[in-house]
Structure 1
Amino acid sequence: MTTTIQKKIWTLVSVVLLIMVMIWLTLTYYNQKTQKQSNDILQRYLQINEVTTASQQMITNLNNYLLVPTEKRKQEVEKSISTIKKVKRDVADLRNEENTFSVTNYIHLIDSLIETANRSIMFSNNHEIEDSTKEFNEANRISMYISEMTLTILDRELKTYNEFYRGIIKQSEELKNLGISLLLLITFVLLLVAYLFSLSITRPIYQLTKAANELSQGRFNKRIEVDSTDEIAFLAKTFDEMRININNLILEIQQKAQLEHELQQSKLLLRESQLRGLQSQINPHFLFNTLNTLSKKAYLDGAEETSDLLVSVAGILRYNLKRVDRSVTLFEEVIVLNQYIEIQKARFTDRLHFESDIDEDCLHFEIPSLTLQPIIENAVIHAIEPEEEGGSISFRIKKNGSCVIIEIEDSGKGMPREKIDQLLGGSILPNEGHFTGIGFQNVVKRLELYYGVNDLVTIYSEVGRGTKVVIQIPKTKVEENVDEASYC
């Protein structure tokens, strides 16, 4: 169950209050216990001292009655006797193992005082003045003895409870030290609890602030994690969901921008191809008709080889007059390629050695127009033309699962890795385009745009060891009827 910050605060307050109440109850208990003991001892002293006061008051009232025996004074004497009897019962309750003998004698003195006072009153009522006076003097003597006895008992009580007094003083000192120690301990515990409590709130806030700073700097890939179980954790979770949504939105925008860029590049490539095609055409239909006329005349004059060469040139010209952005089959591309090779053989004679190995089951696969000829043309220009003894070109088409593999290999001088990376990476190279005006990089880009897959073209080459270009052709869109081509 989620613990909220409010619950944490209430828990801290409850713990503090509980500790304070426990300390207050403990101190109150010990204080009341000590106070009760002190009150009990003080009460003993008061009760013992009250005997002396009551006996002296009784002697005074008895003397007043004997001097002037009135009814009112007689009642005062009787009242004093009742008081001293009550005090005697209280003193009897103070008896313990240490003062049993003293208290017993003390009680007997009180009884003697009461009996002597009663006899003095009796003699006074019988008008026996001499006997009454004698008893009064005896009562007065007993009263004085009671006072001395009281002091003796009090002194003994003080000696008896001397250790107790010292224990109370020591206990009070220990209680004071205990209170100081508890206060320091509670202060330390509260500071520690307050620190941990504040840390449980400030640490998640710091983590959340750090995550917000990361987001402000555009780092949307780092997950937001907060060590908390309260409202801050919920805020962090919401914050992380916002980060994911923003990151997805950015990725979507980047993908759309990339797609728009590729579409724009495709349009530019098509426009460039069309422009170069138009620039290279000087009334192409007139030239095509003229080549056909020359071919027929050469055939009529018996120059069959010249006639075949003119037919090949006319075929290539007619093929190049088609729109560059349409697709053709491999069968059509191979026909044009053979026508191009016938022209180059007529040019280089024995210097050009061309070998082909074609799997006819692959010729129905579709491919962008003018894909193979520019690559063969580059092989002729870089591998045959510069060499005095010429060179060889191998052309192979084979099936590999659901793909068609096209390999074009020459015996030229090869190229360094830097140039391969430039060709495949799109860097501008001089003299890239020849004959059709469509260069190697144009072919690579059109293949990627047509199939929607990158890395369809691979170049294997080392300086001095020739060059091999491998093209992977996936299933065409027409065959699969899907938006993206199947990759090999």
Structure 2
Amino acid sequence: MIGIQRKIWTLTALVMFIMASIWIMLTYYNQKTQDQYNDILQRYLYMNEVTTTSSQTVNSLNIYLLTPTEGNLSSLRRSEQQLKQARSSVGRLRNGENDFALTSYMNLIDSLVETTDRSVMFKSERENEESTRAFAEATRISRYISEMTLQLIDIELNTYDRFYRSIIEQAEELKKLGIWILLAITFGLLLFTYWFSLSITRPVQQLTKAAQELAKGRFERQITVTSRDEIYFLATTFERMRVNINNLILEIREKARLESELQQSRLLLQESQLRSLQSQINPHFLFNILDTLSKKAFLEGAEETSDLLVSVAGLLRYNLKRLDRAVTLYDEVRVMRQYMEIQSARFTERLTLVTEIDESCLSVQMPGLTLQPIVENAVIHAIEPSESGGTITVTIAAEGDVVTVEIADDGPGMSEDKIRGILEEREMQPEGHSTGIGFGNVVRRLRLFYGVTDVIEIRSGEDGGVRVKLKLPKIRRSDTYDKIADRG
């Protein structure tokens, strides 16, 4: 959401950014021109330094020849050293225009240093005439250096004449660029200001128009504001008020009709309940039939069929109980065994049940029809698709304050998406050929029964197989399940 205050700060920041950009650009071009000027001036200073140091060297040589002392000799050597440094600085000024002249210039400097050293050597050997002649040669070379300096400076002036002209042209271009930038910035700010004003005035106009519609009694039209600022919150509150008023009007208009329809619905409900009762089969009558068939099969010698009918009757009787009543783990294990006896008759040797049960744990309470749907899920997805069948292992043991019930199969496994769906209670629908209790329903009832979420774990190995682990607290800390049962 962009508030009005934030829009104002954005406009201010944009203007400051543009001003800073212009200042940085002008500073950059000014600094660039100044650096170029400094470079040219430094070239002239280097050449002038050569002229100065050459004259100083000749002067120091003259003083030494007149008064040959150690102090004057040291002064001469310092002058020569300065001349060599100046020569080194001048060597960095070489370019295509002054290459030949600069080479001659540097040779003159070397000749001056050599001539000076030769004059000092003759003086030390007391050959005054040769020393004087060398001094005259050094004086002439120094004069040549001064003349060559003027020539090099003239060459530099000719070389950088184009640079001076380009600076003038750049100044003109910069002036034109500044005008265009100013025009562009002015145009951009006008557009931005127009958009900025619209972002504030347009929502106000929309809200004003909606208020006029409400004043005319048109509560059906929705109030829409496209902005995302404080006006949006005002429009949202206004829309809620419109909806509430509109709902109240509709409620008043339909009150009489709803009352008559409610009375008619009650009559239809009573009629449908009567028809439902008439269409039901008495469960006790069905149990009596199954018991009769079981005894008849036993008398005829079909003991397996008799046991199967007993298991079916027990499973049916248990399934007809209300799911919101608490049972013991013993009851769940018994019903699970009855279910497995029925499935063993169906799959024969393809189905193997392995149980490891701690009898001391069977008194713990749990919601009804919990183990049988989990085992049924393993039969449907692990045993039934496999031609060779498989094994289902049920392990019950005590671990501290909880009783763990682990149901494992060696089937193809379960995807992570399906495991996540079961744990998030999204997969609530049972398989079409199951007894009707979905896996997600089991998870929901377990969490509601114990009042905790960490009551079940589902793991699937990389090589297949699913391992479902129930962690049943020995002491319940929630009675929500019982309250729901009492209200039912």
* TM-score bucket of the superposed structures, by smaller chain: 0.3 to 0.5
Q: TM-score, normalised by structure 1?
A: 0.47
Q: TM-score, normalised by structure 2?
A: 0.47
Which of 1 and 2 has greater Rg?
1
